[in-house]
């Protein structure tokens, strides 16, 4: 029988995952038969998870060199960053909603989010029995602060902002959203599943050090170059994790906060290895490369007369005809579309200038 092989990455422009760092591959293989869900038995991978969460906290403004007042208070009270390595952004977002619901006391809880939020929040709402209120974004696809303020009420347990949206790579006004959340007695969650490994090198205000947010999704298996599965969930306070913990009578550890039970040690080890290899300089270099490449590519498309959205983080959104889209798909390009039918090209680490030149040549050939 023929040995199955995965796709190559040389025509993949649609994915938020990428070729893992070699150190991540190697570490993942070493830890294939470990279960971070049972850290009393699998202590080594448990320690790796703590290190990973600490590093994620560093990226996300917890434990920075110059902590703000809220950070100092949180650290004094609770110790190191709180969170865990999830199976992905979906689990992290579900758990953020669950934690807020459990900590709040609303009889009919709701979550308020811009319409640009990832569909994992739809799953969260369905699974947890909370109402998801999505509100329109502004003309530039960012959360509209006034619309969010108008949608919250006494039942709101969580306000969500996106830092690096799935379709347009937009960063919502996080400090303003945190303020609205806290004024109404809700928590504030930032979904930086994709953007979290790019944003440290920009001047956006998106993390725990910039605003009094309560939780964050930040995924090593996207721009962090870890192996799949490795998502990240962080809380500012220990209470965020405590609200997720259930008793585990027959395990040596007394409780478990993760949604899944047995978990991927390979994912945890891969995330730790990738971050140790790349944080911060490797990630900075990749951000600068991708940012430059996305800007160049958008310029090339505009020169050809295409309508291209402003590029904020390295996702290029362009209006291509259905005919061009199909022709490019037929030539092997893996492309995806926004809800409104525009083509989105995600400039991930495997996407090179050479690839994009070939893409442009193929696009020219369709006209």
Identify which of residues 16 and 106 has a Cβ nearer to ligand 0PR in the complex: 16
Task: Supply the minimum distance, in Å, between the C-beta of residue 167 and ligand 0PR.
Answer: 8
Task: Supply the minimum distance, in Å, between the C-beta of residue 340 and ligand 0PR.
Answer: 15
> Which one of 39-47, 70-78, 89-97, 130-138 is the stretch in contact with ligand 0PR (CB under 6 A)?
89-97
Residue keyed to tokens 């996702």: 315
Identify which of residues 116 and 256 has a Cβ nearer to ligand 0PR in the complex: 116
Kindly give the pairing relationship between strand 131-135 and strand 110-114. parallel
- Taking each continuous run of H as one helix and of E as one strand, the counts in the chain are 12, 12
* Neighbouring C-beta atoms of residue 145, cutoff 10 Å: 18
Identify which of residues 74 and 315 has a Cβ nearer to ligand 0PR in the complex: 315
Regarding 17 and contact with ligand 0PR (CB under 6 A), the answer is: yes
In the range 131-190, which residues lie near ligand 0PR by CB under 6 A?
162, 166
Regarding 193 and contact with ligand 0PR (CB under 6 A), the answer is: yes
Cα–Cα dist 83/142, whole Å: 27
Task: Supply the minimum distance, in Å, between the C-beta of residue 222 and ligand 0PR.
Answer: 7
Regarding 42 and contact with ligand 0PR (CB under 6 A), the answer is: no
In the range 227-246, which residues lie near ligand 0PR by CB under 6 A?
231
Task: Write out the two tokens for 337.
Answer: 């579309």
List 267's β-bridge partners, or say none: none
Write b or e for each residue in 234-254: b if 16 or more Cβ atoms lie within 10 A of its Cβ, otherwise e: bbbbeebbbbbeeeeeeeeee
Count the site residues for ligand 0PR by CB under 6 A.
17
Task: Supply the minimum distance, in Å, between the C-beta of residue 217 and ligand 0PR.
Answer: 6
Task: Supply the minimum distance, in Å, between the C-beta of residue 131 and ligand 0PR.
Answer: 20
Identify which of residues 193 and 259 has a Cβ nearer to ligand 0PR in the complex: 193
Residue 345 half-sphere exposure, CB side, CA atoms within 13 Å? 32
Residue keyed to tokens 């379709």: 167
Identify which of 233, 195, 217 has the alpha carbon closest to the alpha carbon of residue 314.
Answer: 195
Which of 36, 39, 89, 161 binds ligand 0PR (CB under 6 A)? It is: 89
Task: Write out the two tokens for 322.
Answer: 């259905």
Spacing of C-alpha 208 from chain mean position = 15
In the range 271-310, which residues lie near ligand 0PR by CB under 6 A?
none
Which of 49, 144, 172, 219 binds ligand 0PR (CB under 6 A)? It is: 219
Cα–Cα dist 230/36, whole Å: 12
- The three-class DSSP label of residue 126 is helix
Which of 11, 98, 101, 118 binds ligand 0PR (CB under 6 A)? It is: 118
Which of 34, 120, 256, 258 binds ligand 0PR (CB under 6 A)? It is: 120
Which of 10, 15, 205, 248 binds ligand 0PR (CB under 6 A)? It is: 15
Which of 11, 38, 60, 90 binds ligand 0PR (CB under 6 A)? It is: 90
Phi, then psi, of 343 in degrees rounded to 5: -90, 130
In terms of Cβ atoms closer than 10 Å to its own Cβ (0-12, 13-18, 19+), residue 288 is exposed
Which of 9, 168, 194, 287 binds ligand 0PR (CB under 6 A)? It is: 194
Identify which of 177, 297, 285 has the alpha carbon closest to the alpha carbon of residue 223.
Answer: 285
Task: Write out the two tokens for 184.
Answer: 């109404």
Task: Supply the minimum distance, in Å, between the C-beta of residue 177 and ligand 0PR.
Answer: 15
Identify which of 241, 122, 74, 110 has the alpha carbon closest to the alpha carbon of residue 186.
Answer: 110
Residues engaged in binding ligand 0PR (CB under 6 A): 14-17, 88-90, 93, 118, 120, 162, 166, 191, 193-194, 219, 231
């Amino acid at each position: 029988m023929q040995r199955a092989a995965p796709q190559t990455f040389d025509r993949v422009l649609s994915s938020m995952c990428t070729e893992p760092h070699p150190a991540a591959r190697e570490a993942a293989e070493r830890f294939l038969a470990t279960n971070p869900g049972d850290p009393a038995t699998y202590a080594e991978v448990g320690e790796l998870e703590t290190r990973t969460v600490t590093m994620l906290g560093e990226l996300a403004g917890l434990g920075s060199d110059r902590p703000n007042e809220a950070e100092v208070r949180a650290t004094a009270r609770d110790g190191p960053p709180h969170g865990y390595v999830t199976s992905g952004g979906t689990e992290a977002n579900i758990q953020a909603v669950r934690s807020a619901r459990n900590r709040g006391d609303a009889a009919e809880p709701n979550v308020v989010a811009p319409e640009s939020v990832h569909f994992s929040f739809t799953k969260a709402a369905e699974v947890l029995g909370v109402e998801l209120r999505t509100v329109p974004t502004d003309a530039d696809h960012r959360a509209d602060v006034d619309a969010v303020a108008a949608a919250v009420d006494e039942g709101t347990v969580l306000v969500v902002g996106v830092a690096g949206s799935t379709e347009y790579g937009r960063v919502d006004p996080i400090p303003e959203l945190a303020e609205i959340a806290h004024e109404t007695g809700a928590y504030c969650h930032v979904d930086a599943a994709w953007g979290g490994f790019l944003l440290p090198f920009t001047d956006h205000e998106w993390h725990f050090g910039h605003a009094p947010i309560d939780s964050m999704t930040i995924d090593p298996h996207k721009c962090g170059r870890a192996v799949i599965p490795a998502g990240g969930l962080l809380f500012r306070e220990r209470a965020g994790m405590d609200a997720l913990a259930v008793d585990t009578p027959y395990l040596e550890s007394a409780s478990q906060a993760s949604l899944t039970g047995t978990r991927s040690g390979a994912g945890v080890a891969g995330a730790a290895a990738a971050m140790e290899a790349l944080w911060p300089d490797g990630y900075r270099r990749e951000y600068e490369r991708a940012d430059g490449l996305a800007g160049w590519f958008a310029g090339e498309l505009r020169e050809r007369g295409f309508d291209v959205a402003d590029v904020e983080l390295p996702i290029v959104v362009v209006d291509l005809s259905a005919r061009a889209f199909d022709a490019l798909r037929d030539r092997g390009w893996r492309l995806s579309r926004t809800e409104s039918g525009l083509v989105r090209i995600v400039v991930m680490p495997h996407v090179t200038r050479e690839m994009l030149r070939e893409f442009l040549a193929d696009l020219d050939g369709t006209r």
